[in-house]
A = this chain, B = another copy of it.
Amino acid sequence: MNQNIERISRILINNNIKPSFQRIKILEYLLENKKHPTVDEIYVSLHPEIPTLSKTTIYNTLNLFLESGIVRALNIESSESRYDPITDQHGHFKCDHCGSVYDFPVNFENIKSNKFLEGYEVKEKDVILKGICKHCKEN
């Protein structure tokens, strides 16, 4: 566990972010449960352990993480953002039934090598699918 905190601290330091207790805990939460949580989900999960934690701190911290590129924001639903510590290219499947957000690999070359996109500078890519997940279909 202490090893884990060491590892997470190093990620922050490498990105010029001072490894405060809250920042470590928030990044740890993202990395341990790769569930693409919302701010509220992070808050509800960490609050029992850190009763003084403020939602503003979560917002501040995530925005800080976004700027240095150690997390990605996902706009799957219009209502609220989700956060993903895996920044390598991949797609997302959101289950309408259980609410889970699954990762899946995507070959972006097919998408980028498109006549219509010649001359366009692509910085961000997102593939979002919605439907019913395998697990929910089996019940």
Contacts and interface: CB of A to CB of B under 8 A. Distances in A.
A121 to B, nearest CB: 4
A131 B114 CA distance: 15
Contacts of A1: none
B117 A104 contact: yes
B106 A111 contact: yes
| Tier of interface size on chain A | 35 or more
Interface SS of A by simple majority: mixed
A87 to B, nearest CB: 15
A107 interface: yes
B123 A126 contact: no
Interface in A79-133: 80-81, 91, 93, 96, 102, 104-107, 110-111, 114, 116-133
Determine which residue in A119, A123, A127 has the highest number of CB atoms from chain B within 10 A of its CB, and name it: A127
A123 B104 contact: no
Interface of A: 73, 75-78, 80-81, 91, 93, 96, 102, 104-107, 110-111, 114, 116-134, 137-138
